[in-house]
Every structure is written in structure tokens, then in C-alpha cells.
Chains A and B, each alone.
Chain A
Amino acid sequence: DAKTTQPTSMDCAEGRAANLPCNHSTISGNEYVYWYRQIHSQGPQYIIHGLKNNETNEMASLIITEDRKSSTLILPHATLRDTAVYYCIVRGGSGNTPLVFGKGTRLSVIA
């Protein structure tokens, strides 16, 4: 699976959009981009995933560049409860392969 690079930490004002970038320049054609978050040492929580098209769900939007070498997770209206470590993971193959976690981005939402 391709390696990802994320900023170590970011701050965001409550109510504003949080934009979390991720570089995955070695991604291959059949690899998906996944985003998970971990709130204060709980189990990681699924947010969203995509292959090449932009995706949106009730939690977030995922914007993938046309060359697929980077992506951005957008939390449209961040709240204090969104404070967490956000992991961008690139995974290919089937669901029989595990997720491999990098260091992630620690997002602090500030009142």
C-alpha cells in the first residue's frame, strides 16, 4: 500500500471548515483513500473513502486531485467533538488486508 504524508497537527476554529490534507504520491490505480479518526484513544472511527471521484457523506467530504496524488478531508462545520487524530490511509486489494496506520494529523477544534 502507498505511503501517506500528513501534517502533524492543525487547529481549527469551532464552526469553521476544517481542511485536512494528505499526500499519497505513490498511489496506484486500484488503491482507495480512506479516512479514519480516533478520539482520545477510543477505537478508530470510519469517516469516508474514495477512489478517484469526490465523495460526500453526513460526516465529511473527500476531495481527491485529478492525478490522485493528494486528497483533502473537509469537515464543513467543525465542533469541539471533532477534536481527534485523523488518519489518511491508502489501501488496495480486498477487505482481507488490514489497514496500515501512519502518524495522522492531530486536529484541535478551538472555541
Chain B
Amino acid sequence: SAVISQKPSRDICQRGTSLTIQCQVDSQVTMMFWYRQQPGQSLTLIATANQGSEATYESGFVIDKFPISRPNLTFSTLTVSNMSPEDSSIYLCSSSTGGDGYTFGSGTRLTVV
């Protein structure tokens, strides 16, 4: 199955700034998914990213706050914009090869101060 390299692994950011998280997959994948995991909670889907089209956002998440890029079949970025302490979470990317397998990045632990 695919292997995803996600970076940064963690960051501490000032409120009002933005952070871009990168995910690089070692093979071409059809879809990529971005999740947020708030402290002590389960994973919540933010959006689905297909190469060559705009990402599809879940209810409660908007493009202005979480812009996503998917320039090719092996790479995607998620930006957390105009951050506030409530954005402190772990952010994870995931990929699907179109079959049964899903792979996850190791996560980005974001703390906003």
C-alpha cells in the first residue's frame, strides 16, 4: 500500500497566522482526504481532494479557512488560515488507491498560542 510523508510533524503558531501542511505519497493515488482530530476526540473529515478539481468540503469546514491544493496525483497541501487557539488539533491526510486500501500520514500536531 501507499506510504505518505506528512510534514511538519508538529508546530506552534501565533494566532492570526497560517500554516501549510504537506502530504507526499510514494505512488499515484486517486483521492486524498484531510481530517482534523481535536484533543481527545475521533477523526473528523475536513475535505476530499481529487486531482484537477476543487476540493469538496464537509459541513462546518470552508475553503477560506482550510484551502486545499492537489496539483498532481502524489501531493496535496492543507492550509489552516487565520489561526485561533480553537484550531489546535492534529491534522491528518489519507489516501485511497481506488481499491480497498487507505493509508494515513503520521499527522501534524498544531498548537496555536
A interface residues (Cβ-Cβ under 8 A, vs B): 32, 36, 41-46, 49, 85, 87, 94-96, 98-104
Contacts and interface: CB of A to CB of B under 8 A. Distances in A.
B101 A46 contact: yes
Contacts of A42: 106-107
Contact of B98 (A32, A45, A85, A94): A94
A101 B42 contact: yes
B102 A46 contact: yes
B27 to A, nearest CB: 13
Given A43-B92, A43-B104, A43-B107, 6 more contacts: A85-B42, A96-B31, A98-B96, A100-B45, A101-B35, A101-B44
Nearest to B92: A43
A44 B42 contact: no
A98 B33 contact: yes
B98 A95 contact: yes
B94 A99 contact: yes
Please list the 7 inter-chain residue pairs (A to B) with the smallest Cβ-Cβ separation, ordered nearest first: A43-B104, A95-B96, A101-B43, A95-B98, A98-B33, A101-B42, A44-B104
A49 B100 contact: yes
30 contacts: A32-B100, A36-B102, A41-B37, A42-B106, A43-B4, A43-B6, A43-B92, A43-B94, A43-B106, A43-B107, A44-B94, A45-B104, A46-B103, A49-B100, A94-B98, A95-B30, A95-B96, A95-B99, A95-B101, A95-B102, A96-B50, A96-B96, A98-B33, A98-B45, A98-B48, A98-B96, A99-B94, A101-B35, A102-B42, A104-B42
Nearest to B46: A98
